[in-house]
Amino acid sequence: MDAAITSKMQKHYPVLLKEIISIISPQYGGTFIDCTFGQGGYTKKILEFDKTKVIALDRDPESEKIALKLEDEFEERFKFRNIKFSQLNNLKLKKENVKGVIFDLGYSYTQIKDPNKGLSFDSIGKLNMQLGLNSYSAEEAINKLDQKELEKIFKFFGDEKEGKYIARNIVKERVNKKIDTQGLVKIIDNSKRRKNFRVNNSTKAFQALRIFVNKEISELIYGLINAAKILKKDGVLAVVTFHSLEDKIVKYFFKNLSENKSISRYTPLIEQTDTLFHLTKKKPITPNEDELSENPPSRSAKLRFVVKKTDFFDFETDIEDQFKNLIDIENFGEKL
């Protein structure tokens, strides 16, 4: 999930790397949590600063191969866990001075092009889309969910305006045979009444399925909540998003906990502050012209960050209620 990579050179580019480093200030030391290790772009840069320690997470087991090399090189300063970032609260961090938590919510070029993952509409064969530690695949979703459920997935996770027709035609076609990647692409093409020659017809539907299969909405929500808990005072929570739905969730969480009273009502008044976060920039940071020229896929990246104002662990947020309708759609997967 770490950063975008240009397809021409197949080179790894950690998106907004200079900006991330400037914000988290690793030159002053501390422990940093890289929640989307991927190919290790952010982690490697942080470890260049002697007083730092990095705990990296990734649900994709392929990332562990890269992590093993770093563990050999930085035995005392680097640890890797193959877990989902919603499980941040399972890490043993009481003795750690956590000064930064970083999320990069994009897919890497290697993930997109991995035929076993089946993330792309260019893939051949089985619909998969599992990044790791999943409960079901896209194939199961497409071939087992009912028409209304599929329609909601396409509408709310992909903003697919013709999701109704796509869902209806999927249900029709799967009566005859199990739908694979290219079969789904064909169904989508045939369902589209308005053709978009600038963007592939399957882009939005495939995005929606990736979000659904990997439960990216609830993963992000609980990842943010747990990241806010483990950060120490003056620690930075930084998130790079790549589509509007992710950005909407991050923007709401940061705004809500920096503008509204967020400390638990059970906290003694003497310990309470008005808000949990300090939001220094309301507008997101985006790649500059140099980065866009070197790495065009970074064009949709948005970086938002907040600084924690207190060491306090317990706080209140209504983010789960705010996005309950999306979490309910993810829960369609419980029947698979």
Q: pLDDT tens digits for 65-106?
A: 999 999 999 999 999 999 999 999 999 998 999 999 999 999
Identify the CATH number of the domain in which residue 152 sits. Answer: 1.10.150.170
Of 24, 188, 157, nearest to 101 (Cα)?
24
Same domain, 301 and 231: yes
Q: Which of 186, 213, 240 is the last residue of a domain?
A: 213
What is the mean pLDDT of the segment spanning 42-58? 98
Q: Which percentage of the chain shows pLDDT scores above 90?
A: 80
Q: Are 77 and 101 in contact (CB under 8 A)?
A: no
The count of domains in the chain is 2
Which string of DSSP letters, residue by residue, matches 272-304? --S-SEE-S-SSPB---HHHHHH-GGGGG-EEE
Q: Where are the extended beta strands (E) located within 71-171?
A: 78-81, 98-104
Q: Are 101 and 224 in contact (CB under 8 A)?
A: no
Same domain, 143 and 161: yes
Residues 4-48 pLDDT 10s: 433 434 566 899 999 999 999 999 999 999 999 999 999 999 999
Same domain, 202 and 224: no
Q: Are 202 and 185 in contact (CB under 8 A)?
A: yes
* Host domain of residue 289: 4-110+216-324
Q: Which residue has the tokens 């300063």?
A: 77
Same domain, 282 and 247: yes
Beta-carbon neighbour count of residue 111 at 10 Å?
21
In a domain, 121, yes or no: no
